[in-house]
Amino acid sequence: MARASHPQAMTPHRPGSTRTAPPQVPDTFWSQPRMRTYLLFDATGIPYLVLGLIVLRVAVALGRGPEAWQELMRDFSNPLYLVFHAIALISVIFVGVRFFRLFPKAQPARLGPIKPPPRPVIHAGLYAAWIAVTLALLVVLGGLWP
Amino acid sequence: MAPETGEMRKRTFVVTRFDPDKDQVPKTQTYEVACRPDWKVLDALNHIKDEIDPTLSHRWSCRMAVCGSCGMNVNGEPKLTCKTQLADYGEVVEVEPLANFPIVRDLVIEMDGFMEKFKSVKPWVIVAKEKAAEEGPNRQSPEELSAFKQFSMCINCMLCYAACPVVAKEPHFLGPAAIALGHRYNMDSRDEGAAERNEVFRGEGTVFHCSYANECTEVCPKNVDPAAAINQAKLNAVVDWAASFVVKRNG
């Protein structure tokens, strides 16, 4: 059994002399494990959208003064917020890992005379930069520096 | 299940059938086949055609994963049937025509749409001025060759089109193999047609439709890595677009 793909998928501009059946995909096309991972990757856009709205709320609360800020902090202790932030963290890690896996091979073979380093080096560099930026943010936001 | 006789093992093949003269939509037909353990999926299809049902239509030629004509969906995944071991599958093997292509008959797909996309990326060496024979051959160093060699290994089997979720939804998308081949010529040190191809890459079937699902690379039987080619082509197409404001081009 199969599902329909786009009716014009891979259809030539000039139809041939033989009648053809419309393009289709197997029933399992969207549920294969790799495709599910890809769809999950795309779905992480939803937590990012919500996270963006929360950041806007934080900015508004900051502008309104200490009372609004205290109210926001009370709201953030709600378990729903905590669950959402856990989902957002998992989304970020998932996207980061997938992006870092695919990023090195998307690099140009060379930039003028400069040849990019081997893929494992790019890969390791991305993780090193990620960890460094995360630690720097934790240090600054945690009040340890400056 | 124990083998029936000697090393033979009985399997059920669920095969897509479509006769354009009779059928409105494709249907499936089931065949029981006693298979040898070393058979590929293509061997079973050839057995069905030779011994059970001569009306079954499917494409094949070289039987060594070189010609690229025997691509089909096997249990939902695009495969070259001549290099797909039956031993890797269970009792039931579902064989369908390649996904995302119009079906001409049974397991045979319409290739003209692919050929149109293929031709649109100008897959040949373009030079501003042909070199005279007495000037000698165009030389290329091993390092220059390595910049594109991987992308030249494509056998046009179209498995990448059957696996691509963007091809399934965006009929204008140039698709993995065509872009990989266009990129292969853009990276060729002997070629001077990158600007022309980059215009195609930024045009109707733009490379930017690609959402980097990486499925094309996962199913490629020749390790061409079309996803890498497409994403390298994206950057090149942007750089070329930006450069067009600075550097005047002929024509």
Q: Within an 8 Å CB–CB cutoff, is residue B96 touching chain A? A: yes
Inform me whether the pLDDT recorded for B108 exceeds 50: yes
Q: How much is the pTM?
A: 0.90
CA distance B115 to B197: 16
Tell me the average pLDDT across B18-22: 96
B81: three-class secondary structure by DSSP = helix
Residues B53-77 pLDDT 10s: 999 999 999 999 999 999 999 999 9
Residues B119-172 pLDDT 10s: 999 999 999 888 898 998 889 999 899 999 999 999 999 999 999 999 999 999
Question: Judged by CB atoms within 8 Å, which residues 196-225 of B form the interface with A?
Answer: 211-215, 218, 225
For B149, the closest chain A residue by CA position comes to A109
Chain A hits for B77, CB-CB cut-off 8 Å, are 32
Cβ atoms of B207 and B222 closer than 8 Å: no
Q: Within an 8 Å CB–CB cutoff, is residue B227 touching chain A? A: yes
Kindly report the nearest CA distance between residue B23 and chain A, in angstroms.
Answer: 9
How far CA B151 is from CA of B123, B179, B180, in Å, comes to 12, 10, 6
All domains in chain B, ordered by first residue: 9-109 (3.10.20.30), 112-246 (1.10.1060.10)
Residues A10-35 pLDDT 10s: 999 988 888 999 999 999 998 999 99
Predicted complex ipTM: 0.86
Centroid of chain to Cα A107: 19
Residues B206-245 pLDDT 10s: 999 999 999 999 999 999 999 999 999 999 999 999 998 9
Q: Within an 8 Å CB–CB cutoff, is residue B77 touching chain A? A: yes
Name the residue among A9, A20, A107 with its Cβ closest to that of B167. A9
Mean pLDDT, all residues of chain B:
94
Name the residue among A5, A108, A109 with its Cβ closest to that of B100. A5
What is the CATH code of the structural domain delimited by A26-141? 1.20.1300.10
**Distance between start and end Cα atoms, chain A:** 63
User: What is the phi-psi region of residue B36: left when phi exceeds 0, alpha when psi lies from -120 to 50, beta otherwise?
Assistant: beta
CA distance B82 to A69: 66
Q: A3, A6, A10: best mutation site toward chain B, by most B Cβ within 10 Å?
A: A10
Confidence class for position A139, pLDDT limits 50, 70, 90: very high
Kindly report the nearest CA distance between residue B105 and chain A, in angstroms.
Answer: 7
Name the residue among A13, A18, A29 with its Cβ closest to that of B76. A29
Inform me whether the pLDDT recorded for B5 exceeds 70: no
pLDDT of residue B6: 56
Inform me whether the pLDDT recorded for B1 exceeds 50: no
With CB atoms and an 8 Å threshold, state whether A21 touches B26.
yes
With CB atoms and an 8 Å threshold, state whether A26 touches B25.
no
Q: What is the DSSP letter of B134?
A: G
Inform me whether the pLDDT recorded for B189 exceeds 70: yes
Q: What is the DSSP letter of B210?
A: -
pLDDT of residue B3: 47
Residues A60-76 pLDDT 10s: 999 999 999 999 999 99
Q: What percent of chain A has pLDDT over 70?
A: 99
Phi, psi at residue B215, to the nearest 5°? Answer: -65, -35
Kindly report the nearest CA distance between residue A116 and chain B, in angstroms.
Answer: 12
Mean pLDDT, all residues of chain A:
92
Cβ atoms of B195 and B203 closer than 8 Å: no
pLDDT of residue B14: 98
Confidence class for position A107, pLDDT limits 50, 70, 90: confident
Q: B151, B172, B208, B231: best mutation site toward chain A, by most A Cβ within 10 Å?
A: B231
Kindly report the nearest CA distance between residue B227 and chain A, in angstroms.
Answer: 8
pLDDT of residue B87: 95
